[in-house]
């Protein structure tokens, strides 16, 4: 945003390690760069220790959406996701914001905030498969697991990305590359 904070959208296939990268960016963000915020998304599924979010029922989500509580929403894998409108105030206050979103909302988000930066988290398909198995949210024969794997196979790149971080390298290297890009983008 002009005279405000920088919005970063982090996208990648399920199992690409977006939440791990977000935790590390938050932990290592230098105070001299100003505040960075990672909003909790509202998601219509039960809580999961591997991912911080606000669980909400489908009816509750619809009510919040109708009340204008979200600036971005999407539906994927039979689940609704919402990013709270609070991020607009954070950006106006000069804070940087990074949020994990679906690639399908990039055009909608660019209409809202044209100068946002899209970060694509890349991992090879075989790494995605290993990570999906390891997190154990779904069994391998579950339709959700199969949908995530098929989507990962179809989406190994993202042409709309402003930056690609390879998260198949050691985590310290991926975080270093991501932080370097983000810090350069906020100056």
CATH homologous superfamily for 7-186? P-loop containing nucleotide triphosphate hydrolases (3.40.50.300)
d(CA 136, CA 106): 28
More confident position, 88 or 18: 88
Pull the structure tokens for residue 24.
Answer: 């590390």
This prediction's pTM: 0.83
Residue 86: Cβ within 10 Å count: 15
Give the rounded percent of residues in the chain with a pLDDT score beyond 90: 60
Reply yes or no on whether the pLDDT at 99 is more than 70: yes
More confident position, 14 or 144: 14
d(CA 131, CA 2): 38
* Matching residue, tokens 């290993």: 130
Reply yes or no on whether the pLDDT at 145 is more than 80: no
What are the pLDDT digits (tens) for 27-53? 999 999 999 999 999 999 988 777 789
Which residues is 73 bridged to in the sheet? Answer: 82
Q: Is the dihedral of CA 61, 63, 66, 68 positive or negative?
A: negative
Q: Would you kindly state where each structural domain of the chain is located, as residue ranges?
A: 7-186
């Amino acid at each position: 945003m002009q005279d405000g904070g920088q919005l970063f959208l982090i996208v990648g296939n399920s199992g690409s390690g977006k939440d791990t990268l977000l935790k590390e960016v938050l932990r290592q963000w230098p105070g001299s760069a100003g505040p960075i915020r990672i909003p909790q998304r509202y998601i219509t599924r039960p809580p999961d220790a591997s991912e911080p979010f606000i669980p909400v029922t489908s009816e509750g989500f619809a009510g919040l959406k109708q009340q204008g509580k979200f600036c971005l929403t999407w539906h994927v894998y039979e689940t609704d996701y919402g990013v709270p409108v609070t991020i607009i105030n954070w950006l106006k206050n000069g804070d940087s914001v990074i949020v994990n979103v679906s690639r399908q909302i990039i055009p909608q988000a660019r209409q809202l905030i044209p100068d946002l930066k899209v970060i694509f988290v890349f991992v090879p398909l075989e790494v995605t498969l290993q990570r999906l198995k390891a997190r154990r949210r779904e069994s391998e024969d579950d339709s959700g697991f199969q949908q995530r794997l098929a989507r990962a196979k179809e989406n190994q790149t993202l042409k709309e990305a402003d930056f690609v971080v390879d998260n198949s390298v050691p985590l310290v290297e991926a975080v270093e590359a991501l932080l370097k890009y983000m810090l350069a983008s906020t100056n």
